[in-house]
Structures are given as structure tokens and as C-alpha cells.
Structure 1
Amino acid sequence: MKRSRVNTAELIRRQVEEGPEAYWRHSDFSHLPPTAVSKALSRLAADGVLERVSKGLYYRPCQTRFGRSRPSQSDIQKLLTKQNLHPAGVSAANLLGFTTQNAISGEFATSANSVPRTIIGSRARLHTRRPQTWNYLEATDAAILDFLRSRGNLSELSPAETKQRLLEYFREGERFERLVAVASSEPPRVQAMLGAIGQELRKSPQELEKLRNNLNPLSRFVFGKLSNLRYAKEWQAE
């Protein structure tokens, strides 16, 4: 047993030291015994090979003439992807081309309860506890759902231009069907907006029925800047 722990520690040290400057997590060594991995990473941090960022997360810096290196933007972006972080709010609207503004330090959404501030920065705005279904969404799909949650009100475009651009996104591939598949975990207003969008694009009655069945027929929803969707009233818009 002792020999196994020693070999695991040596294997992890070799992999970290021979690798580039990057973030390291326990899951990067999922093929090895968890307890041994935890101890090995802690030892590497104590030896100065790694820097502990937060619980279970470490960074491997390199020595430069200006001192120890810091994570590059590409490193941070890769980590954000691993953390299931998606653009939200102004950042989502910017990604989709509805605004030229952007949050100074970024705005993100995640299904987790929290994300280490050392990753996203102390000034970033974070929306937590989004549905677990968000973990499997690509950035654009998640940004669209977030844009619908905000009723399109973050758009700098006119209502007509906002509607046109949004419909163009839903004409791409099977995006509408993908978002309908996860819609049951979204707020009712988002499901209603998806229904209005789908009806305007003449999507299948079966897909639309999935959305309508989840809505309380007595409820009314504020569509905000998306109230000009052709069938908004049929989908219970105020």
C-alpha cells in the first residue's frame, strides 16, 4: 500500500513538473486513488511547485525574469469551461451581438453554489444555482436562455432588430429543439417565449405542445423587449 502511494505521488509530481503552466484539479488524476492524489497535490503546494487557488484547485506557475507567472486568459477560459461557467447578463447579450457593452470584470452563470473568486475575479458578477441542464449547454445556447430570462431588455437594438437577430439564432441547425429539450427546468416565461418563437418559425406542433403543457393557462408573462413576437399573446404575454 505504501509503495502504491509513493508511486502515485511520483507520477503526479512528474506530470505536473513536465507539463506547462496550467491549472490542476483532482479530476485531472481521476484514474488514481483520490486520497493519494489529494496528498500529492498538497505536498507539491507545500514544496512551492504548485500554488493552491482554492479547495481542490491548484496552479502551476513558471519562473520568469519578472517573477512567477500568472494564468493567461486562455488558461482562465479553459478553467471557466471546466467549471461550467457561461456568459450571463450583459456578457451574454454582448456575446450574441445585442449590445456593444460588457461587464468590466465579466458576468457569469453556473449551476454550482459558488465559484472561487480567484478564478473569475473579485468584481465579476456571478449568478449561481442555474439548472443542472446548463452543464451540457454550449456557450451560445446558454447565452440565449439567459437573454430570454432577461426578456431581451439588455439589447441595445430596436425591438424589431432584436426580434430579427434572435430568430436568426433559432434558425441555426437544431438549436430550438435543443433548448426545448431543457426548457422544463427554465422559468415559465422562458418556456412561453420559446413557444412564441417556435410558432413564428413554424416548428413542429409536438415541440410546441411540450412547452404549452408546462404553462399554467391562467398565468401572464412579461415579454419585455420581446413582446413584439408575432404570437406573444397566444403564449400568454401581458
Structure 2
Amino acid sequence: MKTSEYISFTIDRLPKGYVFTYADFTTEVNKKEAVIKALNRMVESGKISKLSKGKYYKPESTPFGKLQPSQAQIVKDLMENDGKIIGYLTGYSIYNQLGLTTQVSNTIQIGKKEVRTAFKRERFTISFVKQKNTITKENIPLLQLLDVIRYIQKIPDTSPEFSCKRLLAILKDLSEKDKNTMVRLAFKYPPATKALLGALLDELNESILAESLYKTLNPITKYKLSVDKVLTKTEKWNII
């Protein structure tokens, strides 16, 4: 089978919106140029689209035009390395996903242990948030919630009070195991994050879990978060 036929056959079997590079088709150095040329010809013919240098995707056509890949596909190379998870989506896309805002952003934020300077990829700005915890597939939803708590005052087109109400509903539905894991993960977050998580858990009568966070805080430090209209025990947590 010719290189172009092999690539065409493989792409036909890929799901719509899947992002790939020439490396997905060959590991042989002498075939690299042939693969790149074949992919670029497919871009010209409209069979595939180019996301950025060396990155292509199989577009999904709608009456309104071709759809972009999902944000997870656009940055998947930054979140996985040889099958190991090293990052996760956070920030704006998660605020939207959790119903905290309806605003759609052109910035994709990624939580990682090793961060780098923000850069552009197509129409998106890719930025990074430092994550001190080990990232696993299981704890990503909890890390995303902790990031929401950490940046609660920066969520666009909403208020900290509204976000707190939504967080209370989400935390209430978590299993006891997940709540315990979330508290453990919170130990590596800033004090204000621990204070707000503690106040949220206190509101849900999870006093034992909340107390473990309370013991880590400086009793004279104040946290200006403007959530006292929703949470009834902010004074205990020095939240003003």
C-alpha cells in the first residue's frame, strides 16, 4: 500500500475532531517527508484541516461550517506523555462545564507540575497553572474543584456568592472518599483555598473534615473572599 493510501485509510478510521501528527503514521525517518507531503495534500483538498504547525485534525462539518476539535484534543500533547497523565484542563473551560459561567474563553488553562510560558496555538492562548499534587486520572475532577475554589474571585461573569452556592451543591454530592481525598489534596494549596474549602465543608456539617483544614491555618490571617452572604461560619475561618 502506498504511503498516501495508507494515510487516507487510517484517517478514515479516526473519529471526527481527533488531532494527530505525522508521528502517528510512521516512526521511520526516511518516510517522514512523504507522510508530511501526503498530509499537506489532504489539507489542500479539504479532507483534513491544519490546527497548527505539524498538527492536523479530521473536521466535523455542520450547516454552520467546520467544527474545531475539543479543547482536550487541542492540548492533549501537553497533558499526556507516553500514555502517562501529566496535566489536566482547568480554569475557563471547567468554569463553563460546572455551570459557573456561560462565558466562553479563547484561553485554555492546563494544570501541571512543570509549567511554561503561555503561548498561542491557532486562535487559542495556552496558559498553565502550577499543580503541586501528583496528577492522576482519578483525582483530576477534585483538583479542578480545588482550582475553582482557589480562583473563585476570578471566575468571569459571576460572583463568589453564586459560585459558592454551586460548589455547595457539588460538594454535597461527592462521596465521603472523594471529600477525604479533596481535603488531602487541599493541603498543597494556598491557605485561602483551604479556608474556603473548610468553610464550605462546615456549611455541609462535615466538621471533622473541616477541622483538619482549620488546624493548618494561621489564626490571625484574614481572607477577603466576599462570601459571607452564603456561608454562615466565615468568621470562624477568618473569611471577610
What is the DSSP-based 3-state SS (H/G/I as helix, E as strand, rest coil) of the residue aligned with 2:116? coil
Q: 1:126 to 1:45 in 2, by over 3 A?
A: farther
2:116 corresponding residue in structure 1: 114
Aligned residues between the structures: 202
Q: Tell me, yes or no, if structure 1 residue 76 matches structure 2 residue 74.
A: yes
What is the DSSP-based 3-state SS (H/G/I as helix, E as strand, rest coil) of the residue aligned with 1:233? coil
Q: Deviations over 1:182-217 (max 9, x none)?
A: 111111111111111111111151x22321222122
1:176 corresponding residue in structure 2: 179
Instruction: Say whether the 8 Å CA contact 1:44–1:50 is kept in structure 2.
Output: no
The 5-angstrom pairing of residues 21-36 of structure 1 reads: 23=20
- Please state how far the C-alpha of 1:129 moved relative to its aligned partner: 2.7
| Whole-angstrom CA distance in 2 between matches of 1:181 and 1:88 | 19
Q: 1:136 to 1:63 in 2, by over 3 A?
A: same
Moved more, 177-186 or 72-81: 72-81
Higher strand share: 2
- Please state how far the C-alpha of 1:159 moved relative to its aligned partner: 5.3
- Please state how far the C-alpha of 1:114 moved relative to its aligned partner: 2.8
Higher helix share: 1
2:188 corresponding residue in structure 1: 185
The 5-angstrom pairing of residues 51-130 of structure 1 reads: 61=39, 64=42, 65-66=45-46, 69=49, 70-72=56-58, 73=69, 75-76=73-74, 78-79=76-77, 81-82=79-80, 84-114=86-116, 117=119, 120-121=121-122, 123-130=124-131
Length-normalised TM-score, structure 2: 0.65
Instruction: Say whether the 8 Å CA contact 1:87–1:108 is kept in structure 2.
Output: yes
Unaligned runs of 5+ in 1: 1-14, 29-39, 52-59
Length-normalised TM-score, structure 1: 0.65
2:210 corresponding residue in structure 1: 208
| Whole-angstrom CA distance in 2 between matches of 1:79 and 1:147 | 24
> Which amino acid in 2 is paired with 1:127?
F
1:49 corresponding residue in structure 2: 35
| Whole-angstrom CA distance in 2 between matches of 1:156 and 1:129 | 24
Q: What is the root-mean-square deviation of aligned Cα atoms in Å?
A: 3.8
Q: 1:218 to 1:123 in 2, by over 3 A?
A: same
Q: Deviations over 1:11-40 (max 9, x none)?
A: xxxx999854654799x9xxxxxxxxxxx8
| Whole-angstrom CA distance in 2 between matches of 1:18 and 1:115 | 38
